[in-house]
Structure 1
Amino acid sequence: MSNVLITGGAGFIGSNLAHDLVEKGNKVTIVDDLSMGRLENLVDIQDKIIFIEHDVCDHEFMHELLLKNNFDYIYYLAAVASVADSVERPVPTHKINQESVLDTLEFIRANELKIKRFVFSSSAAVYGNLKASPKKEDMPVQPLTPYAVDKYASERFTLDYNYLYGVPTVAVRFFNVYGPMQNPESPYSGVLSIITDKLQKNETFTLYGDGSQTRDFVYVGDVVAALQLVAEKTPISTVYNIADGGETSLNDVIHTYEEVAHRKLDINYLPKRNGDIDKSLADVTKIKTLGFKPKWTLKDGLKEYWDYEEKRSESHGQHE
């Protein structure tokens, strides 16, 4: 049994990770200010975790938490995960997406805390619009927004704290993660949670561009497995892409989802937005050396996601 801290653990990926860790008998503490996460994501495990509603930018609070708890693993998922928000508010988002990460790493180093691994969650956004495909971890990067710049800088700090000070760290770059417990009301939502929401409500989905843009969609169950794999098995402090390694156009995703949901999505096509990325595909060779194997096909993942959301809306309907 490990003692685990998840920052941002009421969010989409964090809550899925928490469920899996609890199921495996680990002790899990979650810190989340609920600005993007939702308590209902943790309702099934609320008696089995320690949940603290707090801001990770409160350094004193974080220091005390780290000193008291002897965590084995720290999964740092707390972030303002919105590119648009970072463009709008570069300084406040920087405090969360970079300063809080550096402060935590520095506290671990200065106090010689004996952790097994600090796992930082970065993003495929660091690659920007580089033409080369698939994206490999050792390629040049091209962060085009404050969000991507902060993620890249935090990623480098994470690895440097190993190279310079021996803190055991690893960083991951998420591609397009989808699945249960994603918040469609959030402006930071992935495209699939918005499509799910529109299909359920029979509302119109706005598609920017012609739908030929491709993404590497990866089911959250595979991401949860990958996170634990890099935490426990990486031989060195490095960065890994977490993705499926497959490329699907938005049009194909929509067709597959319509099949799964037995519904037709009403689409309003608008011109492509400035800064939107045309093609996103990951090279997952590196994480596969640790034994990572995506288990979820797009169709299976979408079915699982749709069934979860349908159950959720039914239970909400009963409560109303």
Structure 2
Amino acid sequence: MTEHVTPWNPTTLPDARGKTFVVTGGNAGIGYFISEQLAGAGATIVLASRSEAKARLAMQAITQTVPDARLEYIPLDLSSLESARSAGDQIGALHRVDGLILNAAALTQKQRKETTDAHEFVFGTNHYGNAQLIAAALPHLADTPGARLVTMGSVAQRMGRIHLDDLEQHHETYRGFRTYGTSKLAQMLFARELDRRLRAANSTTISLIAHPGGAIDGLTPDRAPAFEHTARQRRGAIVMRPFVQGKDHAAWPAVRAALDPAAQGGQLWGPGSATGSRPPRLDPMRGAFTDTRLAQDLWERTTKELGLQLAV
């Protein structure tokens, strides 16, 4: 890997006035801070989430930090393929879209359950839901030259196992954390294969991957009325401070992937340090994430399963 040498200060971002970014799950956690930071750079932010009420609270919080923020909302529930298709159509109604940041995700489940489309819930939400959203939104991103699609990965992908004949764990004991890791690995492989296909098609749209590293609530700034953290959370975070970061710093890799003019398709961006004390940087690619043949096979299996026709 060649180190990215462009200077980058996550607290002084490039001017993004005139640009529009859609942030899925932009109402809470890392997604909230991605939205706030991009809004602070001057971009219009479209929060895509299940709850309009929570999105409106997040908008109130963002405007307290960024008084002139331009904010919009579209409904999105990634556990529903119909909702993902509808969100893609609404993205198409925007004046322009410079970036789609796929941050929203289902977290680890203790027991196996299914989406409304009868897919395993975590894999169906994180991989299939995002694949459907990408398919619906991609033609609209193409209308804005240089648009970016940023997939939020996770270090949990190292625990993932892609079995193409059993992607949803029908034939093995359900393991919640492994299923989550598999869903993130699938997202990341799909994003890399998407960029390979975009390059082959000479598209100006690029697909990048970011991962936040470790982040906990107790080290995260409050943003009322969207969310505040308890004294217990703050106390519990003291012993973790040397090892992890707050969710505000965990947003930095995705924001750099979205805004760095020198960023290139197919790259993986991660934190510069575990504690978020240094700017985000390019991360090396290892393990199954580097398997080009697996990425191609997963793409074919996914598009066939969902009946997708991606415009690449």
TM interval, shorter chain, is 0.5 to 0.7
Spell out the pairing of 1:1-320 with structure 2 (5 A cutoff): 1=17, 2-34=19-51, 39-45=56-62, 48-56=70-78, 57=80, 58-69=83-94, 70-80=96-106, 82-85=107-110, 87-89=111-113, 91-109=120-138, 112-114=142-144, 116-128=147-159, 145-166=178-199, 167-178=205-216, 179-181=220-222, 196-198=230-232, 216-233=243-260, 234-242=263-271, 244-245=273-274, 286=282
In structure 1, the residue corresponding to 2:104 is in which secondary structure? Answer: coil
Name the amino acid aligned to 1:32: S
Q: Structure 1 residue 182: deviation in Å?
A: 8.7
Q: Deviations over 1:27-86 (max 9, x none)?
A: 111111139966533323467311234424313312211221221011111111x2235x
Aligned equivalents of 1:98, 1:215: Cα separation in 2:
33
Aligned equivalents of 2:272, 2:259: Cα separation in 1:
18
Aligned equivalents of 2:281, 2:76: Cα separation in 1:
37
Q: Structure 1 residue 236: deviation in Å?
A: 3.5
| Residues 1:151 and 1:93: Cα distance change in structure 2 (over 3 Å) | same
In structure 1, the residue corresponding to 2:61 is in which secondary structure? Answer: helix
In structure 2, the residue corresponding to 1:78 is in which secondary structure? Answer: coil
Aligned equivalents of 1:126, 1:36: Cα separation in 2:
32
- When the two chains are superposed, the root-mean-square deviation of aligned CA atoms in Å is 4.0
| Residues 1:5 and 1:285: Cα distance change in structure 2 (over 3 Å) | closer
1:299 paired residue number:
none
Name the amino acid aligned to 2:207: T
Name the amino acid aligned to 1:52: I
Q: State which structure, 1 or 2, has the greater radius of gyration over its C-alpha atoms.
A: 1
**Structure 1 outlier segments of 4+, above 6 Å:** 212-215
In structure 1, the residue corresponding to 2:27 is in which secondary structure? Answer: coil
| Residues 1:128 and 1:29: Cα distance change in structure 2 (over 3 Å) | same
Name the amino acid aligned to 2:131: L
| Residues 1:49 and 1:161: Cα distance change in structure 2 (over 3 Å) | same
In structure 1, the residue corresponding to 2:211 is in which secondary structure? Answer: strand
Q: Deviations over 1:93-141 (max 9, x none)?
A: 2222111211122234456443521111111111239xxxxxxxxxxxx
Are the equivalent residues in 1 in contact too, given 2:30–2:248 (CA < 8 A)?
no
Q: Deviations over 1:247-270 (max 9, x none)?
A: 9xxxxxxxxxxxxxxxxxxxxxxx
Taking structure 2 as the reference length, the TM-score comes to 0.59
Aligned equivalents of 1:109, 1:54: Cα separation in 2:
16
| Residues 1:287 and 1:182: Cα distance change in structure 2 (over 3 Å) | farther
Aligned equivalents of 2:55, 2:211: Cα separation in 1:
23
Aligned equivalents of 1:67, 1:23: Cα separation in 2:
24
Are the equivalent residues in 1 in contact too, given 2:47–2:73 (CA < 8 A)?
yes
Are the equivalent residues in 2 in contact too, given 1:74–1:119 (CA < 8 A)?
yes
Q: Which has the higher strand share?
A: 1
Q: Percent identity?
A: 11
| Residues 1:59 and 1:51: Cα distance change in structure 2 (over 3 Å) | closer
Q: Structure 1 residue 241: deviation in Å?
A: 2.5
Q: Deviations over 1:241-294 (max 9, x none)?
A: 2362359xxxxxxxxxxxxxxxxxxxxxxxxxxxxxxxxxxxx76359xxxxxx
Are the equivalent residues in 2 in contact too, given 1:72–1:116 (CA < 8 A)?
yes
| Residues 1:25 and 1:33: Cα distance change in structure 2 (over 3 Å) | same
